[in-house]
A and B are shown apart, each in its own frame.
Chain A
Amino acid sequence: MTRQDLDRPILLVEDNPMDVDLTRRAFAKRHLVNKLEVARDGEEALAFIDRWEAGEPPPVVILLDLKLPKVDGLEVLRQLRSHQQFRSIPVVIVTTSSEDADIRAAYELGANSYIVKPVDFNRFLDVAQQIELYWSVLNTPPK
């Protein structure tokens, strides 16, 4: 647990602008410290890898939706997990799908956690808080 982890961003890969906004508000409401970066589709998410290679700090955790335009979430996960340098960044799937097949596929591809987005905003606040608490405070991510 270091201060530096809190300096690193959290990457949210989410195409629904309302979800992006609600996530931002949830993080703000629970006074989360990490900066929230957003990729609006799979391609944008993969473009982030180039930026990390160029020296930008990689995220402390990636919140990845599965249903994404252009390149879907599982493909983003697959490509990230095959990346030499950034394969070990923790990935939390945050999606509407509670399908067994999706859950299994995500874990098989190396997801670290799988969260079904709650409709209830109050519960979503708890989820946001716990994500930061666990992944950016309790957990020690690789450098």
Chain B
Amino acid sequence: MTAFKKIEDHLRKEAKNLLEGGKVTLVLAYARGFDEKHPVPCVVKAAADADHLVFNEYCTYNMARYLTRYPVGTKIAVAVKGADSRAVVQLIQEGKVRRDDLVILGIPATGMKNQKTGEVIDAKTTASTINPVLYDVLLGDEIHGVKAGSPYDVLAEFEGMDKDARWAFWKKEFERCIRCYACRKACPMCYCDPCFMDASRPRWADKSPTDDGTLMYHLTRFYHLAGRCIDCGECSRACPVDIPLHLFHKKVAKECEAMFGQAAGMNIEDKPAMANFKGEDSDQMLG
């Protein structure tokens, strides 16, 4: 736990320096919630408030989610863990934020815990990226020697299923959906305004939580995140009825990586996979 404490001290010091020096106008990080097991996302705008920042194993939120809420040109410092830094890279690739506007405070983190269940988050859910892929300041030390495991191993069980059994599985999961859109709110890549679900011309799907509208919502969202999902797992953790959305996102990410040869948010020079094509693409991918 001392590693988390060290990161927390460094985070406060860095946030204070950045705000005092006027390098950034706000810092996106975590603060204490109603107890230390329930931290909340926090926006700090004054150096005096930097002491409220915390970091512990329950800080699972993806702070990259809040970047697109501010106008382009706002100078922002953002605290990111491994997967979150991939979200920042992906947002830069998509031109939603500018690299120059950001001070990225990278946090190498392992052994994060789910706030609801207290379970350690491992590669089975989402912790395939331990060290941030892009950062200006590294809080704590890079972690080496921890085997994260392939993020896609957990899929084997579902890929092996008969298609009818798989449909039965997803139907049962989606039936519980109450269409609160928490998955959309938690997702750093869901920044469309308006979202296709909120559009009424055309009306893509039922607004009330009917089975067909829910199916349309989720399948379209999986498609919209193709080649963009950075495997942070916030959708599943945000879900009040525990639909394992990250499984489907993992599957789509796996196929994208296999077909298009790039994982989302790993390299700032890449173009988003679905807004690009390559000479070596072949018709085999349709087969």
Query: Is the pairing of A and B real?
Result: no
Chain B residues within CB distance 8 Å of chain A? none
Chain A residues within CB distance 8 Å of chain B? none
